Structure 1
Amino acid sequence: MKKQTYCRQLKGVVTSNKMNKTVVIEVSRVKKHSKYHKIFAVSAKYKAHDETNSCRIGEQVMIEACRPMSKDKKWSVVKKVKAVS
């Protein structure tokens, strides 16, 4: 029986594609304050590997965790969810 491996996946927007085979993805989440119960948005930026240099700024993409490729790059682009027109 083959074991299934779970890779963490996130959906975000491409904010920069200036680097070679690397894009910066901004992932936004909604959190709730534990004491005051106020709902607020939190965003984080991740560097992700883009082998084909095909991602453009503004596109929605799905990224998943992978082995570390550099000091900051530990994610890779899986697929484009929504393209820019």
Structure 2
Amino acid sequence: MSERGHRKTQLGVVVSDKMEKTVVVKVDRLVKHQLYNKYIKRSVKYKVHDEQNVCKVGDRVQIIECRPLSKDKRWSLKQIIESIS
């Protein structure tokens, strides 16, 4: 079985699980301000494919880049790191 090329992974927190087989994951990152050298928190929300509907709001998850699955979904769930139960 051939291995796929290098695919990006991200860590984030599930903020919505209201859709079928889809969760919304918020990924935070720190960016250094060019002039003031202060770190600013930036975030982005990704729609992530969750085949078994196992993620709940508040879970910390690892997501992996995949082929486009719909208009907005380009990420897939790799693993749940910390579950809120």
Superposed pair shares fold, TM > 0.5 = yes
Cross-structure match for 1:22: 22
1:6-54 superposed Cα distances (whole Å, 9 cap, x missing partner): 1100000000000000000000111101222111100110000000000
Gaps of 5+ in 2: none
SS at match of 1:18: strand
Cross-structure match for 2:13: 13
Residue identity opposite 1:69 in structure 2: L
Cross-structure match for 2:66: 66
Q: Give aligned pairs, total.
A: 84
Cross-structure match for 2:54: 54
Q: What's the C-alpha RMSD, in Å, of the aligned pairs?
A: 1.3
So what's the TM-score if we normalise by structure 2? Answer: 0.93
Residue identity opposite 2:25 in structure 1: I
So what's the TM-score if we normalise by structure 1? Answer: 0.93
Map residues 33-52 of structure 1 onto 2, 5 A cutoff: 33-52=33-52
How many Å separate the matches in 2 of 1:32 and 1:60? 24
